[in-house]
Amino acid sequence: MAKLILTRFLYIFDEVCISFITSLLKKHDLEECYFWLSELYLSGYDKQCWDLIWFVYYDFYYVLNPQFEEFIIKKHESSSNNPMLSLMTIVKNMHKMNSSSQVFITRQYNASDKQITQLFRGKKPSWLNDISNKYHGLFRYIDKHMYHFAVSSLPEIKSDENENKNLNININNNCLVENTQKTTIDDLFDNALIYFSRMDKSLTIDLINDLKQHILTSHYTNYVHKTWAKLCLLIFNSDFHKSKKKMYISCLNDEYNKIMNIHQEPISLTSGNNKQIYKTLFYKRIYSITPLCSSFHLSRNSHCSMIKDNINDSYWYHWEYFAYLCPVWQERMNKFDITIDDENNKIIFKDDDECEQFYEEYGYEPDEQSRETQEKSILHMESSNWEKWYCHIFGEKSIHNFPKDYQFTY
């Protein structure tokens, strides 16, 4: 069960991620995309921001924009001076790109059902004779357009360089169901070349080698995700290699400074030169989380089910405890002599003066905020299903239909 975590400005972590994805895919205000990403980054989730970018790219953008992979890698490798600027540059380009849902939808099936209910009987097609036995299921399901079963048929992947360095497939990481067989990237794509070149004679070993070269790189280590995305490229965009080289744009310093000022600019003082820390959330919460979050399994729902109450009590009276799980808040609180009371969801300051000092700096008083300010984070969301989010984003028939009550996992 995902824990409830509050970010820098006391949004719920997973809802920030989903709001970012939704605003990016819908091509909403680019500054909203920047805002959600900066909320994560400045909450101390720098590595998670990169993982999220890769996650979103392979799930929604790779099939139609495979050339952009190289650009992200270069930005990732050169990001040490200003990682946030590199991330914003990537987002600015993705914001203009067309997206697709095939990788996301087929992986969602594996995150939930995972059952292969269709088995093949009778004589095998002759083209299977050239395919290694361990890939028969994979390519037969692809051939029959049963892509959700094809995902489940991928063997476990191991590194060519080290037989013992297996790359585990973890269902909880939205990857694939475990298969008792193992394969190498080279072996898998050698067989992919045999299968796909039947329909596309222009597909060459050089193109296949280009596809697989970044799968085992360390920038993003969900290797199975990358492998399935590349197979989906061959399935759904077979003319990818005929595309012209594209030019990408940079995030401007003015854009960067504007979004950083939201987080870093101090709250104005009162007429008596007193701090107004309690107004932080009013001034800094520029956007509200999307109500479409309810199409996903959310940490707030798991939390509320566990405590048998709504989110308000935890947010109003225990926010320090749930914020402590966030890196930036943990760093702030660890400067003081505190005890973590897990039983009562409390942060206990052992010294009254230190307690007073903490609230002088960070007394955001979420329970005292206006309803509008509170609902930007803890908006009441009617329970929804996968279709509401999917139709809102893509407006087309899904490659796979889930049960009506299904919710996405991300």
Cα separation values, 37 from 47, 51, 237, 259, 283, Å: 12, 12, 29, 10, 18
Structure tokens at 189: 């794509």
Quick check: 103 pLDDT over 50? yes
pLDDT digits (tens, 9 = 90+) for 302-345: 888 787 678 999 999 999 999 999 999 999 999 999 999 999 99
Q: How confident is the model at residue 172 (pLDDT cuts 50, 70, 90)?
A: very low
How far apart, in whole angstroms, are the C-alpha atoms of residue 101 and residue 167? 25
Of 135-149, 166-180, 191-205, 241-255, the poorest mean pLDDT is in 166-180
CB atoms closer than 10 angstroms to residue 367: 12
What's the pLDDT tens digit per position in 109-127? 877 766 777 888 888 999 9
Q: How many CB atoms lie within 10 A of CB 108?
A: 25
Point out which residues pair with 340 in neighbouring strands.
Answer: 347
- Who wins on pLDDT, 312 or 2? 312
Which residues are CB-contacts of 263 (< 8 A; sequence separation ≥ 6)? 8, 38, 39, 42, 284
Question: Per-residue pLDDT for 162 more than 90?
Answer: no
Residue 67 one-letter amino acid? Q
